[in-house]
Amino acid sequence: MIRYILRRLANYVILLFVAVSGTYFLASACLNPYSIYAARQPPVNPATVESMMRSYNLSHEVPLIERYWTWLTNILLHWNWGRSPMGDYINQQISQRMWVSLRLVLLGTLIGTVVGIALGVWAAARQYKVGDRIYTVIVMIAVSMPTVVLAVVWMIAATRLNQATGMQIINFIGVNSANIPDYPGAHLVDSIKHLVLPTIVLTIIQAAALSRIQRNLMLDTLGSDYVRTARAKGLTKQQAVRRHALRTALIPIGTQVAFSIPLMFTGAVITETVFAWRGIGQYTVLTITTKDINGVTAVTAFSGLLVCCGAILSDILVSILDPRVRIG
């Protein structure tokens, strides 16, 4: 197992290095950090701008290869991912926003995965019955509804709840409130109030997508010969589903879930923007709009690292779920 993981990691490290280096060259060719100072009023002295760009290793007067080598050596020797055109340290931005997104994305992914799998199995066991048809309609509405609309609907519902109770039960702007009461556990309670709505939105998105996949996989599995054989030997339908059909149907879901975690980090752009969460998703858009070459490259490296971890996790999950797979 360890040799297998190390071998896979070596391949992923090489691919990640190529992808991140390619992103740096592409971002340097397409993004112009000088442009954010061009419309400043009063105008900024061009000599001052050039001096800042040189200090941030973003100057167009310096050859691209030389800039790339400086950027690479800073990372390898000092783990310094550089600075934005505005002077912000990329390391600080990523480290702060990473933990903001972590609690949101992991919670939404885990709850959404459990709910999605449970709904998919439940619907498949009741194919074409009233419950299955109601489930299909609800899931199709959830899948078809844009994320921003879904978020706004829940914000309206939370506002009505707060108004009806006369209390601020749910907050939905920012990660924490500006004024937190002074009592034991106040910060935790406030964080939970802000976490509820964005987690619900991400949970619905994850659960709706996974449940449809799980339902289709379960329907295919329920018609297999080994499931019919298990039923013929005396197992009830629930026992056949739980002992035989579910494990086989979970194999593709294991791969899906493993890769959904890294994608959710950078894909939660709309959710983080609507609820004013300063996470990785929002930072991805910010780096592009501010022509931040180093920021775009760092986000790509972070996303690529998560994808590599997802790939390793996928291989491990498949080997656990599928006895036919042996890691050698």
Instruction: Say if residue 75's pLDDT is above 90.
Output: yes
Query: Coil, strand, or helix at residue 278?
Result: coil
Please calculate the CA angle 68-70-75 and round it to the nearest 5 degrees.
Answer: 95
Structure tokens at 207: 């659960």
**154 plus 57 within the same structural domain:** no
Task: Tell me whether residue 296 is in a domain.
Answer: yes
Q: Which of 321, 210, 217, 317 is nearest to 264 (CA)?
A: 210
Count of domains in the chain? 2
Closest residue by Cα to residue 270 from 96, 148, 158 = 148
pLDDT at 103: 83
Please tell me whether the overall predicted TM-score, pTM, comes out greater than 0.85 for this model. Answer: no
Mean pLDDT across the stretch 145-154? 90
| Residue 143 to residues 174, 195, 219, 267, 275, Cα–Cα distance (Å) | 26, 22, 20, 15, 20
Q: In terms of domains, do 238 and 118 share one?
A: yes
Q: Give residue 246's domain range.
A: 95-321
Judge whether residue 30 has pLDDT over 90. yes
Does one domain contain both 146 and 22?
Answer: no
Element (H, E) at 89: none
pLDDT of residue 240: 78
Q: Which residue has the tokens 């490296």?
A: 301
The predicted structure's pLDDT at residue 323: 64
Same domain flag for 72 and 101: no
- 46-69 average pLDDT score: 93
How far is it, in rounded angstroms, from Cα 192 to Cα 157?
A: 17
Does 89 reside within a domain?
no
Instruction: Provide the b/e sequence for 20-44 (b: ≥16 CB within 10 Å).
Output: beebbeebbeebebbebbeeeeeee
